[in-house]
Amino acid sequence: MKGVPFSDFQAQVRSLRTEIDSAIGRVLDSGWFVLGPEGEAFERELAQALGAEDAVCVGNGTEAIQLALEALGIGPGDEVVTTSLSAAFTALAVLRTGARPVFVDVDPSTLNLSPEGIERVLNPRTKALLPVHLYGNPADMTSILGIADKKGIVVVEDACQAHGARFSGRFAGTLGVAGALSFYPTKNLGGLGDGGAVLVKEAGLAARIRQLRNGGQSDRYRHEEAGINSRLDEIQAAVLRAKLGHLESWTARRRAIAELYRRGLSGTGLSIPATTEGAVHHLFVVRHPRRDRFMAALRERGIGTLIHYPIPLHLQPAFASLGPKPGDLPAAEQAASQVLSLPLYPELTDAQAHEVVDAVREVLRTLPA
Listing DSSP states for 36-49 in one string gives: SHHHHHHHHHHHHH
Q: Considering the domain boundaries, does residue 224 fall inside one? A: yes
Query: Are 203 and 344 members of one domain?
Result: no
How far is it, in rounded angstroms, from Cα 116 to Cα 108? Answer: 12
Query: Are 236 and 256 members of one domain?
Result: no
Query: Are 56 and 18 members of one domain?
Result: yes
Query: Are 185 and 253 members of one domain?
Result: no
Distances (CA, A) of 350 to 166, 264, 297, 305, 346: 25, 12, 22, 17, 10
Residues contacting residue 203 through CB under 8 Å, at least 6 positions apart: 53, 54
Q: Considering the domain boundaries, does residue 63 fall inside one? A: yes
Query: Are 253 and 239 members of one domain?
Result: no
Query: Are 229 and 252 members of one domain?
Result: no
Q: With contact defined as beta carbons under 8 Å apart, do 188 and 46 qualify?
A: no
pTM over 0.95: yes
How long a stretch of residues is the chain?
369
Q: Considering the domain boundaries, does residue 4 fall inside one? A: no
Of residues 91, 120, 122, 92, the one with CA closest to residue 105: 120
Q: Considering the domain boundaries, does residue 140 fall inside one? A: yes
* Dihedral over Cα of 161, 163, 167, 170: its sign: positive
> What total number of domains does the chain contain?
2
How far is it, in rounded angstroms, from Cα 236 to Cα 282? Answer: 20
Continuous segment of H or E residues that includes residue 12: helix 9-15
Q: With contact defined as beta carbons under 8 Å apart, do 38 and 234 qualify?
A: yes
How far is it, in rounded angstroms, from Cα 214 to Cα 205? Answer: 15
Query: Are 98 and 238 members of one domain?
Result: yes
Which of 217, 244, 271 corresponds to the end of one domain?
244
The number of C-alpha atoms within 13 Å of 174 and in the hemisphere containing its C-beta is 20
Which of 206, 227, 244 corresponds to the end of one domain?
244
Distances (CA, A) of 311 to 37, 61, 103, 308: 41, 20, 13, 9
Continuous segment of H or E residues that includes residue 178: strand 178-182
pLDDT at 1: 57
Of residues 60, 42, 44, the one with CA closest to residue 52: 44
Q: With contact defined as beta carbons under 8 Å apart, do 141 and 19 qualify?
A: no
Query: Are 204 and 319 members of one domain?
Result: no
Task: Show contacts of 270-276: CB within 8 Å, 24+ apart.
Answer: 270/360, 270/364, 270/369, 271/338, 271/369, 273/109, 273/110, 273/111, 273/135, 273/137, 274/109, 274/110, 275/110, 275/135, 275/137, 276/137, 276/138, 276/167
How far is it, in rounded angstroms, from Cα 253 to Cα 120? Answer: 39
Query: Are 191 and 74 members of one domain?
Result: yes
Query: Are 306 and 215 members of one domain?
Result: no
Query: What is the full DSSP assignment across 254-294?
Result: HHHHHHHHHHHHTTS--B-----TT---SSEEEE-TTHHHH
Continuous segment of H or E residues that includes residue 170: strand 170-171
Query: Are 251 and 237 members of one domain?
Result: no
CATH code where residue 203 lies:
3.40.640.10
Which of 218, 244, 270 corresponds to the end of one domain?
244
Q: With contact defined as beta carbons under 8 Å apart, do 231 and 209 qualify?
A: no
Q: Considering the domain boundaries, does residue 3 fall inside one? A: no
Q: Considering the domain boundaries, does residue 210 fall inside one? A: yes
Q: With contact defined as beta carbons under 8 Å apart, do 31 and 154 qualify?
A: no
Query: Are 206 and 281 members of one domain?
Result: no
Tell me the residue range of the domain where 251 lies.
Answer: 247-366
pLDDT at 234: 98
Instruction: Report the DSSP beta bridge partners of residue 166.
Output: 171
Question: With a cut of 70, which residues of the chain have pLDDT below it?
Answer: 1
